Amino acid sequence: MSTPATLLAHDPVVLAPMEDVTDAPFRRACRAVGATLCVTEFVAAEQILADTQLARRRCLLAADDRPTAIQIYGANPEMLRDAALVAAQANPAFIDINCGCWVPKIACRGAGAGWLREPAAMVEMARRIVAALSLPVTIKTRIGWGPESHMPIVELARRLEDAGVAALTIHCRTAQMGHTGAADWIWARRAREAVSIPVIVNGDVRSARDVVRALRETGCAGVMIGRAAIAHPWIFREARALLDNLPLVEPTLAERVAMYRMLLASNVAARGHHGLGMTRRHIGVLGPLLATLKLPVLRAPTLAATNELLDQALHGQRIIENVW
291 shares a domain with 229: no
Q: How confident is the model at residue 148 (pLDDT cuts 50, 70, 90)?
A: low
Sign of the Cα torsion 277, 236, 208, 99 reads: positive
Mean of pLDDT over the chain: 94
Catalytic residue among 101, 108, 172, 220: 101
Q: Does 206 reside within a domain?
A: yes
Please tell me the pTM assigned to this model: 0.94
Indicate the residue among 218, 243, 268 that finishes a domain.
Answer: 243
Q: How confident is the model at residue 150 (pLDDT cuts 50, 70, 90)?
A: low
Which helix (H) or strand (E) segment holds residue 218: the answer is helix 208-218
Give yes or no: residues 116 and 215 share one domain.
yes
Q: Which residue range forms the structural domain that includes residue 132?
A: 4-243
Boundary of a domain, candidates 243, 265, 299? 243
pLDDT for the residue numbered 317: 66
> Does residue 304 carry a pLDDT above 70?
yes
Same domain, 234 and 281: no
Phi-psi region of 219 (alpha: psi -120 to 50; beta: other; left: phi over 0): left
pLDDT at 239: 97
Q: Which residues of 64-92 are buried (b: 16+ CB within 10 A; e: fewer)?
A: ebbbbbbbbbbbebebbbbbbbbbbebeb
Which residues partner with 137 through β-bridges?
Answer: 95
Are residues 198 and 68 both part of a single domain?
yes
- Do both 215 and 189 map to the same domain? yes
- Whether 248 and 238 have beta carbons less than 8 Å apart is answered as yes
Per-residue pLDDT for 151 more than 90?
no
Do 80 and 182 lie in one domain? The reply is yes
Query: Is it the case that residue 322 has pLDDT exceeding 70?
Result: no
225 and 265 assigned to the same domain: no
Domain boundary among 210, 243, 276: 243
Q: Is 248 part of a structural domain of the chain? A: no
Is residue 39 in a domain? yes
Which tens digit of pLDDT belongs to each residue from 80-138?
A: 999 999 999 999 999 999 999 999 999 999 999 999 999 999 999 999 999 999 999 99
Average pLDDT over residues 30-37: 97
Q: Are residues 239 and 274 in the same domain?
A: no
Q: Is residue 323 part of a domain?
A: no
Instruction: Return the sign of the alpha-carbon dihedral for residues 11, 17, 21, 22.
Output: positive
Q: Are residues 238 and 269 in the same domain?
A: no
> Is 30 annotated as catalytic?
no
In a domain, 120, yes or no: yes
Q: Does residue 63 register a pLDDT over 90?
A: yes
- CATH code, domain with 190: 3.20.20.70
Enclosing H/E stretch for 142: strand 137-142
List pLDDT tens digits, range 172-223: 999 999 889 999 999 999 999 999 999 999 999 999 999 999 999 999 999 9
**Percent of the chain with pLDDT strictly greater than 90:** 88
The reported pLDDT for the residue numbered 315 is 82
Are residues 11 and 59 located together in one domain of the fold?
yes
Query: What pLDDT shows up at residue 323?
Result: 44
Contacts of 242 (CB under 8 A, 6+ apart): 208, 209, 211, 212, 248
> Number of folded domains in the chain?
2
Least confident of 27-31, 143-147, 171-175, 181-185: 143-147
Same domain for 237 and 257, yes or no, is no
Flag whether pLDDT at 264 surpasses 90: yes
220 in a domain, yes or no?
yes
Give the other-Cβ count within 10 Å of 115's Cβ: 31
Domain contains 74: yes
Query: Are residues 273 and 209 part of one domain?
Result: no
Residue 142 scores a pLDDT above 90: yes
Indicate the pLDDT class of residue 152, thresholds 50, 70 and 90. Answer: confident
Q: Is residue 320 part of a domain?
A: no
